[in-house]
Amino acid sequence: MKHLRTILIPVILIVCSSLFAEILFYGDTRSDEVTHRKVVKAITAHKPAIAFHTGDLNQKGIAQSEYDLFKEISKPITDLCPLYPAKGNHEKSRSLFLANFPALNGSAYYSLVHDGIRFIILDSTDDLSPASKQYQWFQTALADSLPAILLMHHPVFSSGAHGDELGLQLWLPQLLVGSKVKAVFSGHDHDYERSEYKGIKYIVSGGGGAPMREARHDNPQSLVFTLNHHYVIAKRTDGKLAFNVWSLENELLDSFELSGF
């Protein structure tokens, strides 16, 4: 499969030559390379056309050896398709993170188009205040007319150990109302959870290898919560995106659809 890329700062546009191919979401791989390898092995059976990582690729993110190990483990995925990460709090060195993903063109927040879908990736470890450059860029990205999926490491709605650590609920959901964003994917909490607020789905996918953690916060918007290492596969068909969440035992943990695609 061929991928044509046109790079604009800090936007990456991708045109995929095959429609209806699968899209991968997973994250929080961190320090358990044994489990990460199992997750990767399960993923490759789906042969995704594009992959997104919700952050915390490494345990500390301060040594090139950590990225070398991540790349070695994830190579069966990247042999199939490009992988685009959100920067997690465990990627402590921003410069090292960016050096290992040159396609990001020097920015940890960026957007790309795949199969007519806009993917907006924010750097939730950096300033997101209204006066910040990232926030202003985000507002411009939200004005795009394509249906969109937003990704960032820190969750908005979460029952997990961290919960809404950054106070994103105070402003982000309202900003998304009326936009083309259909879903928000994040990691940080080591679990799988699907919440919904004002028609937008909020997914926590932090089951790529980091140790699972019990729920600790009240989340009235939660619909599904489970402690399983997992990955999420989406497939576009008939104007919808159909999502399946799989455990390492090939158990279907959750399924849902997004319309308007």
Per residue in 116-143, pLDDT (tens digit) is 999 999 999 999 999 999 999 999 999 9
Cβ atoms of 141 and 188 closer than 8 Å:
no
Give the model's pLDDT for residue 15: 43
Query: Are the C-beta atoms of 148 and 181 separated by less than 8 Å?
Result: yes
Residue 112: is its pLDDT beyond 90? Answer: yes
Residue 11 confidence (pLDDT): 52
- Rounded CA-CA distance 120/12 in Å is 10
Looking at CATH, the fold of the domain delimited by 3-259 is given as: Purple Acid Phosphatase; chain A, domain 2 (3.60.21)
Read off the pLDDT of residues 86-100 as tens digits, 9 standing for 90 and up.
999 999 999 999 999
4-61 tens-digit pLDDT: 333 334 555 444 444 558 999 999 999 899 999 999 999 999 999 999 999 999 999 9
Q: What pTM, to 2 d.p., does this model score?
A: 0.93
